[in-house]
Amino acid sequence: MKIKKTIGKIHLWLGLASGLIVIILGITGCLYVFEEELRPLVHKHYHVDEVKKTPLPFSKLLAIAETQSENPISGCKIYNNKDRTVAFWSFNKLENNSIWYWDDYDRLYIYIDPYTGKVEKLEDYNFEFFFVVRMLHQTLFLKHDIGDPIVGTATILFVISLITGLILWWPKNKSAAKQRFWFRWKDTTKWKRKNYDLHNILGYYMMIFALIIALTGLIWAFEWYDSGLQWALNGGQTIEKSEKSVSDTTQVNSKNSFDKIYNTTKQLHPKADNYILFIPKDSAAAFNTFIKYENCFNNASIEYDQYSGKILKTNSFDNKNTGEKFRSINYDLHVGSILGLPGKVLAFFASFVSAGLPITGFLIWWGRNKKKKKDPAETGE
């Protein structure tokens, strides 16, 4: 009994310490889980006015984007869906002492009609709705070096709370188990009992999914966790990353090769959902591309010589080590998309229940405290 009482205190105080942040993470997680489906519905500039036969060359679209930004273009996303605009972006690191994420980078997105070259919208991405939700979820609106460890620490406390909660929930016998697996409410059931059941029963059924969401989320919070997990998955081996590919700077610099790179990528992966092209930052850098499929196991990346368009390196899921494979599907595990739409629905409800656990837990604690103050002799429910 003493052990269970100690576990109860740990569960209580960790829940109180992390509760507010867990509520924020749960609610924002619910909002963000369907962002891929909702963004095209709420943003008119994601779609072209008219689908035409032939889009403009990539190099022409890049040249248009460059006229719209004071900073170098960092990359773009091109969808296989013919009615989608092409999104270019530029990131500029800002030097200041501010603690807020919007003062860290100047993020400009440029949406261009690929058939006419018309600029549909210039967007300050720092304040795009879903990005705001993401940054509240990931950093509490703080810069990464400040917000990540705060959110990560709260997530670790939440994980421990889930485990201690399971220990406290575990029924002593078959008779007690009948009350733990489903709601047995009657017209006379008081709200305190209903709140207690919501906390315990929903927490039990969503625990495994909440744990998956929490543990995969820690990847972005702590570098030591990310590298340590990959080390463990690789059998206790630290596998050095391969050297970055470089372009042959003796060749003539021509952006026409960019068209060749995009066309080659599309020919090699004609059924991909979209293609992300990262514009080289300097004259020696390779031209990196990421090919995104609906099924994350089909995702791939290709590195090209930025001048000749020659393929330097190809990476797919199959040729990665175990740690890299897990890292490549971590996001899809986190938001549930690894199981398609049903997985996202499951992640939504797991996030919703997770947001509710600190609230229902607080009400249980508050109710017991009030009861003890009324009658110090009463210690049970």
Q: What whole-number percentage of the chain has pLDDT above 70?
A: 94
d(CA 353, CA 202): 7
* Whether the predicted pLDDT of 342 surpasses 70: yes
pLDDT at 379 over 60: no
Is 380 a residue whose pLDDT tops 50? Answer: no
- CA distances for 78 relative to 128, 134, 272, 299, 305, angstroms: 19, 22, 10, 15, 20
pLDDT of residue 272: 97
Q: Is the pLDDT of residue 381 over 50?
A: no
pLDDT at position 260 is 95
First-to-last CA distance in the chain?
16
Rounded to whole angstroms, the maximal C-alpha distance in the chain is 87
What pLDDT shows up at residue 375? 60
pLDDT exceeds 70 at position 251: yes
The proportion of the chain whose per-residue pLDDT surpasses 90, expressed as a percent, equals 79
pLDDT tens-digit map of 13-41 = 999 999 999 999 999 999 999 999 999 99
Kindly tell me if the per-residue pLDDT of 125 is higher than 70: yes
| Average pLDDT value over all residues in the chain | 91
Query: Strand 300-304 and strand 119-124: pairing?
Result: unpaired
pLDDT at 143 over 60: yes
How long is the chain?
A: 381
CA distance 349 to 344: 9
Within 10 Å of residue 217's Cβ, how many Cβ atoms? 22
Answer whether residue 153 shows pLDDT above 60: yes
Structure confidence by residue, pLDDT tens digits, 155-200: 999 999 999 999 888 877 666 666 677 777 777 788 888 888 889 8
> pLDDT at residue 350 above 90?
yes
Residue 247, exposed/middle/buried by CB under 10 A (0-12, 13-18, 19+)? buried
Q: Please write the tens of the pLDDT for every residue from 277-327.
A: 999 999 899 999 999 999 999 999 999 999 999 999 999 999 999 999 999
- pLDDT for the residue numbered 176: 63
Average of per-residue pLDDT across 329-353: 96
CA 372 to CA 365: how far, in whole Å?
Answer: 11
Least confident of 97-106, 181-190, 260-269: 181-190
* For residues 358-362, average pLDDT: 94
